[in-house]
Amino acid sequence: MRRRDFLGRICFAGMTCALPNAWVLAANSPTKNRTEFSPSTEELDQTRLWLLANPFNGSNRGERRKRMAVIQSACDKLEPETYAEYVESWESSPKTADALEEKHPALYYLRKATAHAFEDIRKTKVKEGIAIWHIYNMGYVFKTGEKCFGIDVHARDAEKLADDLDFLLITHEHTDHWTRGLLEAMIAKGKPVITRWFEGSTIVNEPKELAFGRTKVRIEIGDHHPHSTNNMLMFEVDCGPKSGGFNIYHSGDGFNLQKMKPRKPVDVFIPHVSVGLNIEKTITKLDPDLTCLSHVLELGHSPLPPHAWRWSFDYAFSTVKNLPENRACVPTWGEKWKAEGRSRKAIEQ
């Protein structure tokens, strides 16, 4: 097993602040129950700024969970039907989307976090290593000194990224993994878009290897669940020499561990937190430096039985409770970190 010093090559900015009593109430709420606490926009802003200043570092999980509980409490108040209305309004009625963001704390937070990330993606310059942003659900944007690309980006105004992205990868058709406006904008600009189905994109339904300059993408075919097989693109991305040989493995909603076969050591592994995949077993087998548990708080799903598929932060943390804290993180919307890949040295912000 190679040396575990991934955290030594991630950059952070430190910040401390007092924790309001209301935040403590949210943090102490039972894992399986919806919280009663409803945060104000001020508390949500404080939470977002604290998390941006204190990203995962392998030793701050407890403090992060207290702040993340504030986001959880906001999301617990949002019905999946409201989120569906919100997504539908992105293109058809922007004023409706604005009104929903003003009314619902969860949507307010999501919009603020996403808008900040989009702005940061544009202004961030990466000479060496890689910068990574978590957008929503399974969505990430990666930027090196050579390329900027996205995987499963689903967000309001995502089409604004079309000028910044060199290529876009989509694991499958479920609407929480892609944004029509972004796909159409990328295709209109003649930029590569890889999907299983979207007209105008490069359609892939079998194992394939692609090259975008010195960034290499290897595609495996995964299974969404036991009764829905061979319907998931899984991506292994070698981000090229300027990234320090940084290797990403994004398995989408893939549940079948037997089909996950990265060829190179994995720096960052991005799996679905709960789709029948045993996370601890998967991490042990794939042996990534860091796992980013994703598909957490997918607002289009219900948090309540009988289809409680909106997995909470607490649930995500419970799936890795037996692993060292520096092996797994639960990122929040809009967060960013930098790393220098296999050179094993942190780079400056």
Instruction: Say which amino acid occupies 203.
Output: I
User: Per residue in 28-64, is it b (16+ CB within 10 Å) or e — as a string?
Assistant: ebeeeeebebebeeebbebbbebbbebbbbbeebeeb
Give the span between the Cα atoms of 137 and 250, in whole angstroms.
12
Q: Which residue has the higher pLDDT, 221 or 14?
A: 221
Please, what are the domains in the chain? 6-343 (3.60.15.10)
CA distance 344 to 324: 19
Is residue 117 within 8 A of residue 164, CB to CB? The reply is no
Reported pTM: 0.89
Q: What percent of the chain has pLDDT over 70?
A: 87
What average pLDDT does range 224-230 have in this prediction?
91
When the pLDDT of each residue in the chain is averaged and rounded to a whole number, the result is 89
- Lowest-confidence region among 6-20, 116-130, 142-156: 6-20
Closest CA relative to residue 148, chosen from 162, 166, 169, 171: 166
Convert the pLDDT of each residue in 84-138 to its tens digit.
999 999 999 999 999 999 999 999 999 999 999 999 999 999 999 999 999 999 9
Could you tell me which of 155, 204, 149, 198 has the C-alpha nearest to residue 176?
A: 155
DSSP structural state of residue 43: H
Check residue 35 and give its pLDDT: 53
Query: What is the pLDDT confidence band of residue 306, given thresholds at 50, 70 and 90?
Result: confident
Evaluate if residue 345 carries a pLDDT over 50.
Answer: no
User: Which of 319, 346, 317, 254 has its CA nearest to residue 6?
Assistant: 346
Length of the chain: 349
pLDDT in tens, 42-64: 999 999 999 999 999 999 999 99
Q: Furthest-apart CA pair in the chain: how many Å?
A: 53
Q: Is residue 245 predicted with pLDDT exceeding 80?
A: yes
Residue 53, amino acid: A
Give CA–CA dist 45/25, Å, rounded.
17
For strand 202-203 and strand 193-195, is the pairing parallel, antiparallel, or unpaired?
Answer: parallel
Q: Which of 170, 155, 249 is nearest to 203 (CA)?
A: 170
